[in-house]
Amino acid sequence: MFPDPSHHPPALDLFLMLAMGHFLGDFALQSDRMATEKCPGHDVTLPWYWWLGSHAAIHGFLVGLITGVPLLGLAEWVAHALTDIGKCRHLYRLPGDQAIHLATKLLWTWLVVRS
């Protein structure tokens, strides 16, 4: 009834899990307030860096959990925060932001699979 998972390349499986985790973190787990107030100058209830740090930490946790590598979680925490700062500064829009995030997940996949 279900396809045999042993026929899937492990890299594809890992990338798909990271991508799904990313969309969970960026859309389902990010409130409207967090999405707005994580940008400098738009913070009202808390300083922006608390919102951004918390949002990026969720992504770091998901990457660490999915890969089993806490240091990749830390790398994701930093990479996600830097990418979102670029979006806050209008260096790119949502499609560019999401492309950068997914490219980062490809990098994590490559690092895990090659080790």
- Does 40 map to a domain? yes
pLDDT at 48 (0 to 100): 98
Predicted local confidence at residue 86, as pLDDT: 98
| Cα–Cα–Cα angle for 63, 18, 72, rounded to 5 degrees | 30
Please, what is the end-to-end C-alpha distance for the chain in angstroms? 33
Overall pTM surpassing 0.85 (yes/no): yes
Q: Is residue 87 part of a domain?
A: yes
Sequence-distant (6+) residues with CB within 8 A of 57 are 77
pLDDT at 2: 60
In a domain, 5, yes or no: no
The region, left, alpha or beta by phi > 0 then psi within -120 to 50, assigned to residue 90 is left
Q: Supply the range of the domain harboring residue 91.
A: 10-114
The string of DSSP codes covering 33-52 is HHHHHTSTT--SSS-HHHHH
The DSSP code for 4 is: -
Q: For the chain, 115 residues long, give each residue's pLDDT as a single digit of tens.
A: 566 656 667 999 999 999 999 999 999 999 999 999 999 999 999 999 999 999 999 999 999 999 999 999 999 999 999 999 999 999 999 999 999 999 999 999 999 999 8
Q: Does residue 24 lie within any of the structural domains?
A: yes
Which pLDDT value is given to residue 30? 97
Q: Domain total for the chain?
A: 1
pLDDT at res. 74: 98
In a domain, 4, yes or no: no
